[in-house]
Amino acid sequence: MKILKFGGTSVANADNIKRVLTIIAEKAKNEKLVVVVSALSKVTDLLQLASQKAASNDESFKEIVAEIEKKHLDTLKELIPVSEQSSLLSHLKRIINHLETLLDGCFLLGELSPRTADTILGFGELLSSYIIAEALKQNLKNSGYADSRELIKTNANFGKAVVNFEISNQLIADYFASNESQVVVLPGFIASTTDGIHTTLGRGGSDYTAAIVAAALNAKELEIWTDVNGMFTANPKIVKQAQPIATISYQEAMELSHFGAKVLYPPTIQPVLRKNIPILIKNTFEPEAVGTYISNDVVSQTNPAKGISHIDNIALLTLEGPGMVGVSGSSKRLFEVLSQENINVIFITQASSEHSICIGILNSDAEIAEIAINKAFEIEIAQNKIEPCIVENNLCIIALVGENMKNHQGLSGRMFSTLGKNNVNIRAIAQGASERNISAVINERDVKKALNTLHENFFEENTKQLNLFVMGVGNVGKKFIEQIHQQKKFLKENLKINLRVIALSNSRKMHFDEDGISLKDWQTVLNNGETANQELFIAKVKELNLRNSIFVDITANESVSKTYEHYLKQSVGVVTCNKIACSSAYDNYKHLKNLSRQYNAPFLFETNVGAGLPIIDTVKNLIASGDKVNKIQAVLSGSLNFIFNNFDENHSFQDVVKEAGVQGFTEPDPKIDLSGIDVARKILILIRESGYQMDIEAIANESFMPAECLATTSNEAFFASLQKHAAHFDALYNEAKNKESRLKYVAQFENGKASVGLQFIPKDHPFYNLEGKDNIVLFYTDCYVDQPLLIKGAGAGAAVTASGIFADVIRIGNV
């Protein structure tokens, strides 16, 4: 014999019930079945709401009853031929009339007793089981119906009655010993005392009903039919990469269900565990899916963890004080108080010093618990031996579960390190002696990030998902997005990095998509986005609270650079080609670096100097190895190098500067390049990364530009000024030619002093043959004394800058 239980979604409506009937008919061909059914989806909630309204003298409870009646009558009419409906509809209406009478009583008395509440809540299963039993008889004549209240006996603990197994097992065994039906339908959830008073087994109790019957009959198997393909490695509604678990032990299933895996009601396992009856969780809507098989047969696997689960709406209560140290009975008194108030303790942890004890309970019980605890310990509180109970609300418990976890070292460290890297603050930790689960209390707002981060680490073959928030989609930004689109598949397959662009913004529009923006038509999506707003952008990044988040700044905007600290404080990494932040006041530069370390948020800016060249990374490696940078000489502006390499007798200075802008080598405002401020910022960043303290005011800027040119306020005026002062630039060119030299804009640092300016470079200098838009840097260090460490390559252009930004993002992914 098999026991089949169908949940509320499986019997939500006539169409779903038809699926259920097909499954039952197919299985009944080979063996006898007991079918336990829940109430139609949402009906129990409606019954609870109706009873509350009635007890509050709110006549709208009658509208809810009418809704319940219509739902069931409509379902029956769809399942039963018209010729046979009359008597069945009458029976349903009698049940509804009984329900309405009970609610009328609550309305007149203005109260709802636990006993009455249990009776009312049981109507959902009574109605659904009657309809399903009658529908089953249409095609399977040898089927019947039994009332669970006559078979399962409990105490009078209304709301969550305790089963008397000795009596119930005998009643169930006797009933089915004499019943010859091929299929018997039972209502789940409901039971009664030995005096016949109606009780319930707790919300989700239909699973428990099925398990009780399975154990009493020594069934071959218990099948739980629901709307998912079994138990998952995490809640698939929160973790989209969650995978079904094919096999799992009773203990693992119990732990996962206790910590919120709603596919299975926690008490269900106990009755069948004693009899070693396997549980199979199946999907009513995909009956061919394998499902989850729960048994004592442990299947060996490499992953020590089996799943991650969580419980929402938790409050953490802390009782602490010197009056608890060495005093026996403190814990006993605390738990007695909670027991008397009928408050379930979900989580317990106690300091080894005995100075404090923490417990996790439901938010809804927190206020009652706080009052009761403070009253029980009022003498110690008055004597300042114990502090008043501390209550923290809006928390969540997450649990990593696995039978094999006890045989693996370092799992706790791996779990908490993973959470810490994503700024998930842990309020309390507990691990049972069985080492079957590790539990932690965290803020409720972090639960999605925590579950996804842990799942990624433990169940996704080390694939790391990076969530990018990109600001700036000009020339460089477009190339960056193109590169992501082009390399996305390669990165996932070869580097196990899954890149998703969650947000895009320019100066006018911004767009967010938590599931990732399609990069095929991102420009259209962005153009249809909402009005750009930096404060709102920050707020949305914070609200989404996604794991491995990276803010990518591809602007030259000062106001954007001032937002970095907001991201870093949320453990959101920052990748930027914007030089303003790292060349701002030294205190701000150090502040950002410190925030990066404090919040474990990467702050990478390789493209600040040399576009895609590994210049900053090289400096970091030199310093980390113990070397010391003593002198730097560099051509750091690909734009200026392009300009002076192409400026000659045949090409005016004005025309070359324009061409540099067209090719994307200069900033939108070319004065930023030509004034030398851009190069000054770059050498300043190299000086700081070399371990020296300096501000930009200390860098001598020997400008080659006429003051009138730099004073212009528009590009049009600027180019007109360049044409006006053409003779000045021609003179510089001719002087270099006469000296058999080339013009190069050089940055240098030595003996604590730095400067930037135009120089005449002779033929024997390494800078002389620097072509196109290339950069070159010479580092003289304690290790590189006579022959400097030289880095050379393309230092400007949208593609190489985008590649540098991309490389920084990948660096974060490889950490």
- What mean pLDDT comes out for the span 354-361? 86
Helix (H) / strand (E) containing 598: helix 586-598
Cβ atoms 323, 350 nearer than 8 A:
no
Backbone angles phi, psi at 269, to 5 degrees: -70, -35
The catalytic site residues sit at 682
- What mean pLDDT comes out for the span 511-539? 95
d(CA 306, CA 455) in angstroms, rounded, equals 10
Cβ atoms 51, 61 nearer than 8 A:
yes
What letter does residue 416 receive in the DSSP assignment? H
> Bridge-partner residues for 191, per DSSP?
199
Share of the chain above pLDDT 90, in %: 79
SS3 content of the chain, % helix, strand, coil (to 5): 45, 20, 35
CATH superfamily entry for domain 2-227:
Acetylglutamate kinase-like (3.40.1160.10)
What is the dotted CATH code of the domain comprising 615-796? 3.30.360.10
d(CA 22, CA 25) in angstroms, rounded, equals 5
Average pLDDT, the chain: 92
Cβ atoms 248, 293 nearer than 8 A:
yes
- The region of weakest confidence among 31-40, 131-140, 503-512, 663-672 is 663-672
Q: Report the interhelical angle of 114-121 vs 43-55 (nearest 10°).
A: 140
- What mean pLDDT comes out for the span 485-492? 93
- What mean pLDDT comes out for the span 301-326? 86
Of the candidates 584, 679, 683, 698, the one whose C-alpha atom is nearest the C-alpha of residue 631 is: 683
Does the pLDDT of residue 434 top 60, yes or no? Answer: no
- What mean pLDDT comes out for the span 504-530? 95
Residues 6+ apart with CB under 8 A from 22: none
| Confidence band for 351, pLDDT divided at 50, 70 and 90 | low
Does the pLDDT of residue 309 top 70, yes or no? Answer: yes
Look at residue 554 in the predicted model and tell me its pLDDT: 97
Look at residue 262 in the predicted model and tell me its pLDDT: 73
Q: Report the interhelical angle of 653-662 vs 638-646 (nearest 10°).
A: 140
Residues 6+ apart with CB under 8 A from 732: 704, 743, 758
Residues 6+ apart with CB under 8 A from 481: 470, 473, 501, 504, 519, 522
What letter does residue 762 receive in the DSSP assignment? -
Cβ atoms 99, 120 nearer than 8 A:
yes
E-assigned strands of 548-613?
549-553, 573-576, 603-604
Write the pLDDT tens digit of every residue in 451-460. Answer: 999 998 888 8
| Confidence band for 639, pLDDT divided at 50, 70 and 90 | confident
d(CA 45, CA 120) in angstroms, rounded, equals 11
Backbone angles phi, psi at 438, to 5 degrees: -120, 120
Cβ atoms 499, 491 nearer than 8 A:
yes
d(CA 253, CA 278) in angstroms, rounded, equals 12
Cβ atoms 762, 694 nearer than 8 A:
no
- What mean pLDDT comes out for the span 561-577? 96
Q: In the chain, what are the domain boundaries?
A: 2-227, 307-459, 464-576+585-595, 615-796
Look at residue 432 in the predicted model and tell me its pLDDT: 63
Report residue 673 as tokens.
Answer: 């390049």
Cβ atoms 65, 103 nearer than 8 A:
yes
Which sign, positive or negative, has the C-alpha torsion 121, 123, 126, 127? negative
- What mean pLDDT comes out for the span 677-691? 95
- What mean pLDDT comes out for the span 507-532? 95
* 221-226: strand order across its sheet: 143-145, 183-187, 33-37, 2-6, 221-226, 279-283, 292-295, 247-249
Burial class (CB in 10 A: 0-12, 13-18, 19+), 20: buried
Backbone angles phi, psi at 459, to 5 degrees: -130, 0
Does the pLDDT of residue 90 top 60, yes or no? Answer: yes
Is CATH 3.20.20.70 correct for 307-459? no
Q: Collapsing DSSP states into helix, strand and coil, what is residue 573? A: strand
Residues 6+ apart with CB under 8 A from 552: 468, 469, 470, 471, 472, 480, 575, 576, 805, 809
- The CATH architecture of the domain made up of 464-576+585-595 is 3-Layer(aba) Sandwich (3.40)
Look at residue 408 in the predicted model and tell me its pLDDT: 75
Cβ atoms 20, 284 nearer than 8 A:
yes
| Cβ neighbours of 626 (radius 10 Å) | 8
Which sign, positive or negative, has the C-alpha torsion 360, 361, 362, 367? negative
Of the candidates 258, 244, 254, the one whose C-alpha atom is nearest the C-alpha of residue 310 is: 258
Cβ atoms 239, 274 nearer than 8 A:
no
Write the pLDDT tens digit of every residue in 224-247. Answer: 999 999 999 999 889 988 999 999
CA-to-CA dists, residue 628 to 8, 687, 777, angstroms = 70, 11, 16
Report residue 54 as tokens.
Answer: 């009635």
What is the largest distance, in Å, between two alpha-carbon atoms of the chain? Answer: 117
Write the pLDDT tens digit of every residue in 15-33. Answer: 999 999 999 999 999 899 9
Residue bearing the bigger pLDDT, 254 or 369: 369
- What mean pLDDT comes out for the span 374-380? 93
Burial class (CB in 10 A: 0-12, 13-18, 19+), 62: middle
E-assigned strands of 70-139?
none
d(CA 195, CA 260) in angstroms, rounded, equals 34
Does the pLDDT of residue 767 top 70, yes or no? Answer: yes
How open is the CA angle 131-135-139, to the nearest 5 degrees? Answer: 165
Report residue 16 as tokens.
Answer: 């779903």
Helix (H) / strand (E) containing 176: helix 165-178
Does the pLDDT of residue 433 top 60, yes or no? Answer: no
Please measure the distance between the N-terminal and C-terminal CA atoms of the chain and give it in whole angstroms: 54
β 33-37/183-187 pair status: parallel
- What mean pLDDT comes out for the span 26-51? 96
| Cβ neighbours of 245 (radius 10 Å) | 23
Look at residue 329 in the predicted model and tell me its pLDDT: 81
Half-sphere exposure of 469 (CA within 13 A, CB side): 26
Look at residue 672 in the predicted model and tell me its pLDDT: 87
- What mean pLDDT comes out for the span 364-376? 94
Q: Collapsing DSSP states into helix, strand and coil, what is residue 366? A: helix
Look at residue 301 in the predicted model and tell me its pLDDT: 64
Give the highest mean pLDDT range of 19-23, 271-275, 292-296, 672-676: 19-23
β 2-6/33-37 pair status: parallel
Report residue 507 as tokens.
Answer: 């100066």
